[in-house]
């Protein structure tokens, strides 16, 4: 059994040593614990700091590509190098790395496919009351979409089994956290939580400029996931709303018409007709979305089998690096220690 601890980084040269110092080098149930640093286009020498501190696996983007792509590239690298469990933590030292053993325990016991750390946001001092309420509301919405119960759906400290990662597909351009939870819930993967206490804050988030931007981007990701996995609930609800909005003015017009006073109330009839068209359009969109969901399911099953073949072969005979697609070449001095040092990743999306 091999455990990979991946650390997405953007200009984390200062805090990365703290994160690496807390990562256990031995975890019960695993023969090997590997550390993977994904440098998302840092300009402060984060990759060099990682190599200097003995990190053998370093994926470096030549430009800042974002958290979602950084996570995806890290997972690809870890699976290609034989990972059985992947733990994701942040490079800002927010999460207690010493709890990694507790985080992976439910997966080792066969009780969960994904374990998400609960930061207990209500107790975090630097979170404003408004942010705490929004975190709680967002987690409830994500839990409802996933059909599960998670108190902290936005937490980035989490563990994934190999089987879970083969089934998940990150398509958002913002953050993978909520999307993977909604996917996992709808694919009947088992999700568990682990209460933790976060470390003191070291910097502001780089994933978003303010809470409003975060809410807008997270909202779009959640709505997209709802439409992908629960189109019947979304479009039937919208169709019902439009139908009610059509029925009220239509009944009003009919009442006046039956009483012999139809004049001056044609606006109600026009409005009712417009709302009825909206209801019918929602039903048409439901049919299209349902067909797309069927096609997406077939494509995802194919991707899962392709990954199983690809990474199964990689686990038996690990390649020196992931395929290089648009990267900066590592120099020989950085890669002399190991054939896996300085592996280059593919451009992805934004990093906090």
- Token pair for 238: 């919208």
**Residue carrying the six token digits 């807390």:** 22
Largest CA distance in the chain: 93
How many of the other CB atoms lie within 10 Å of CB of 137?
11
How far is 68 from 61, CA to CA, in rounded Å?
13
- DSSP assignment of 243-309: HHHHHHHHHHHHHHHHTT--TT-HHHHHHHHHHHHHHHHHHHHHHHHHHHHHHHHHHHHHHHHHHHH
Q: Which residues pair with 191 in a beta bridge?
A: 114
Give the percent of the chain with pLDDT over 70: 84
Among residues 233, 82, 79, which one has the least CA distance to residue 168?
A: 79
**What pLDDT score does 334 carry?**
41
The pLDDT of residue 35 is above 90: yes
How many of the other CB atoms lie within 10 Å of CB of 29?
14
Q: 231: which residues sit within 8 A by CB, 6+ positions away?
A: 286, 289, 290, 293
The angle, 0 to 180 degrees and rounded to 10, between the axes of the packed helices 176-186 and 67-80 is 60
How far is 248 from 71, CA to CA, in rounded Å?
49
**Residue carrying the six token digits 């404003």:** 128
* Three-class DSSP category at 87: strand
160 Rama sector, left if φ>0, alpha if ψ -120 to 50, beta otherwise: beta
- Token pair for 246: 């059509």
**What pLDDT score does 206 carry?**
59
Quote the pTM value: 0.76
83 pLDDT band (50/70/90 cuts)? very high
CB 194 within 8 A of CB 102: yes
How confident is the model over 179-192, as a mean pLDDT? 90
Polymer length in residues for the chain = 352
Tens-digit pLDDT profile for residues 196-222: 998 887 666 656 566 777 777 777 777
């Amino acid at each position: 059994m091999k455990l990979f601890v991946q650390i997405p980084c953007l200009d984390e040269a200062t805090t990365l040593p703290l994160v690496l110092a807390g990562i256990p080098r031995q975890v019960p149930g695993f023969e090997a614990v590997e550390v993977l640093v994904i440098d998302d286009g840092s300009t402060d020498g984060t990759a060099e700091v990682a190599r200097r501190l003995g990190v053998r696996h370093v994926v470096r983007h030549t430009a800042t590509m974002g958290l979602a792509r950084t996570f995806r590239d890290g997972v690809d690298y870890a699976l290609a190098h034989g990972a059985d469990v992947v733990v994701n933590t942040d490079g800002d030292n927010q999460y207690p790395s010493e709890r990694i053993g507790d985080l992976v325990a439910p997966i080792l016991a066969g009780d969960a496919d994904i374990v998400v750390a609960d930061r207990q946001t209500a107790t975090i001092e630097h979170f404003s009351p408004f942010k705490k309420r929004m975190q709680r509301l967002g987690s409830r919405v994500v839990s409802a979409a996933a059909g599960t119960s998670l108190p902290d759906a936005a937490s980035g400290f989490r563990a994934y089994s190999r089987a879970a990662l083969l089934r998940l597909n990150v398509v958002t351009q913002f953050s993978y956290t909520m999307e993977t939870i909604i996917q996992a819930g709808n694919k009947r993967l088992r999700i568990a939580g682990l209460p933790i206490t976060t470390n003191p804050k070291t910097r502001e988030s780089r994933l978003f400029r303010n809470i409003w931007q975060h809410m807008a981007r997270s909202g779009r990701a959640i709505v997209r996931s709802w439409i992908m996995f629960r189109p019947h609930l979304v479009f039937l609800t919208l169709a019902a709303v439009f139908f009610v909005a059509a029925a009220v003015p239509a009944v009003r017009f009919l009442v006046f018409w039956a009483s012999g006073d139809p004049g001056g109330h044609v606006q109600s009839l026009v409005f009712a007709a417009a709302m009825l068209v909206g209801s019918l359009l929602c039903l048409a969109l439901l049919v299209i979305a349902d067909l797309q969901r069927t096609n997406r399911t077939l494509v995802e099953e194919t991707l899962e089998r392709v990954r199983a073949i690809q990474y199964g072969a990689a686990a038996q005979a690990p390649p020196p690096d992931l395929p290089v697609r648009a990267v900066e070449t590592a120099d020989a001095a950085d890669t002399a220690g190991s054939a896996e040092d300085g592996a280059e990743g593919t451009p992805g999306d934004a990093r906090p």
